[in-house]
Amino acid sequence: MEATIERENAEKRMDDIMGRLLRTGVILAAVFVLAGGVVHVARHPQPVTDYRVFHGEPEELRTVPGIIHEALALHGRGLIQFGLLILIATPIARVAFSVVAFLHQRDWTYVVVTLIVLSLLFYSLLGAHT
């Protein structure tokens, strides 16, 4: 019985931290997207992209190092893309946190489960997709 209560307490704490993590990620992402948006609109009064025809983003707005570089240069589009990168990273951070939490609970089955999900997410963001 005591073990069950302990497990429930551990899970409650885990839920709390997860909730805070998700909220912080979304707010941070929105702040960067908004700031980048202001810069973008101010610097480019005339539209830069015709959205009716697809031609894809330039290399520097498609890779993690490229986006970080563009954001550090304070380019509007780079800042927006950096905010979106934080947004994509938020669920990934949540899964990474779960790996640690399950390790702490010595729940090996779920350590493996979460590691599989985490590697799929890393493959998505860092793998070569052509």
Partner 1 sequence: MNTLEFTAVIGLGGLVAGFLGALTGLGGGVVIVPLLAVVFGVDIHYAIGAALVSVIATSSGAAAAYVREGYSNVRVGMFLEIATTVGALVGAALILHLRVSIISIIFGVVLLCSAYASLTEHTHSGANDGRDPIATWLKMDSTYPTANGMESYHVRGVPQGFVLMFVAGVLSGLLGIGSGAVKVLAMDRAMKLPFKVSTTTSNFMIGVTAAAGAGVYLRRGYIDPGLAMPVMLGVLAGSLIGARVLAVAKVKVLRLVFSGVIAVLAAEMIYNGLK
User: CA triplet 115, 91, 37: central angle to 5 degrees?
Assistant: 145
User: At closest approach, how far in Å is the CB of 73 from partner 1?
Assistant: 14
Distance, CA of 96 to CA of 94 (rounded, Å): 5
User: At closest approach, how far in Å is the CB of 104 from partner 1?
Assistant: 14
> 96 near 118, Cβ under 8 Å?
yes
Should residue 45 be labelled a site residue for partner 1 when binding is judged by CB under 8 A? yes
Q: Tokens in use for 29?
A: 């992402």
Residue with tokens 């669920």: 91
User: At closest approach, how far in Å is the CB of 117 from partner 1?
Assistant: 5
User: At closest approach, how far in Å is the CB of 56 from partner 1?
Assistant: 3
Should residue 57 be labelled a site residue for partner 1 when binding is judged by CB under 8 A? yes
Residue with tokens 């089955």: 109
Long-range contacts, stretch 100-103, CB < 8 angstroms, 24+ apart: 101/10, 101/14
Footprint on this chain of partner 1 (rule: CB under 8 A): 11-12, 14-16, 18-20, 22-23, 25-26, 29-30, 33-34, 36-37, 40-41, 44-49, 51-54, 56-58, 61-63, 76-78, 80-81, 84-85, 87-92, 94-95, 98, 107, 109-110, 113-114, 116-117, 120-121, 123-130
